[in-house]
Amino acid sequence: MASLNVGNLGEYLREQRRNAQLSLRQLADAAGVSNPYLSQIERGLRKPSAEVLQQVAKALRISAETLYVRAGILDAERDRDEVETRAVILADPSLNERQKQVLLQVYESFRKENGFGIGAPAEDEDEDEPDRAGDVDEDTGGTAVRGTRTADGSDTDAGPRRTAG
């Protein structure tokens, strides 16, 4: 594992916080960390854990993987393409959160199909959970679409249909 470059991380976090127009206190509250601790991270005095970085990334609405690379937790050379692709998808303001997650699932599916390792799963993914509307079926590449409910509560379609993805 590479050594942590917390100075670079701190500068980057400060820049992202300012771009998001958040005060240090607001970001600390949103990330669930103390104000002094976040200040020390920004000044390069503390080495945050991957969990703290994930919380901060979520509060800033940026890629946790980008922060992991900046902190030296992920190998930048090996993971750069995947991290950059995921970061661009997650940062796209024209997509809602669900669309971003579906797009990341498709991306990971294609990477897996082409023999590349899979990154960390998206936050709301659950392998045992049944397909939901809009989920990508990794076996067929199609999108699961569920029927709608009628006024009496019955389904218009008993099961998922597959549409070309």
Residues β-bridged to residue 126: none
Query: 72, exposed or middle or buried, with CB in 10 Å at 0-12, 13-18, 19+?
Result: middle
The residue-averaged pLDDT of 133-150 equals 43
CB atoms within 10 A of CB 77: 9
pLDDT tens per residue, range 64-84 = 888 888 888 877 655 667 777
Instruction: Give, rounded to a whole angstrom, the gap between the first and last alpha carbons of the chain.
Output: 38
pTM exceeds 0.75: no
3-state secondary structure of 114: coil
Quickly state the pLDDT bin for 31 (edges 50, 70, 90): very high
pLDDT of residue 19: 92
pLDDT attached to residue 81 = 74
- Taking residues 82-105, what's their average pLDDT? 88
Highest mean pLDDT: which of 3-12, 22-31, 59-68, 72-81?
22-31
Give pLDDT, residue 40: 95
How far apart (Å, rounded) are the C-alpha atoms in residues 90 and 104?
Answer: 9
Helices 97-113 and 76-91, axial angle in degrees (round to 10): 150
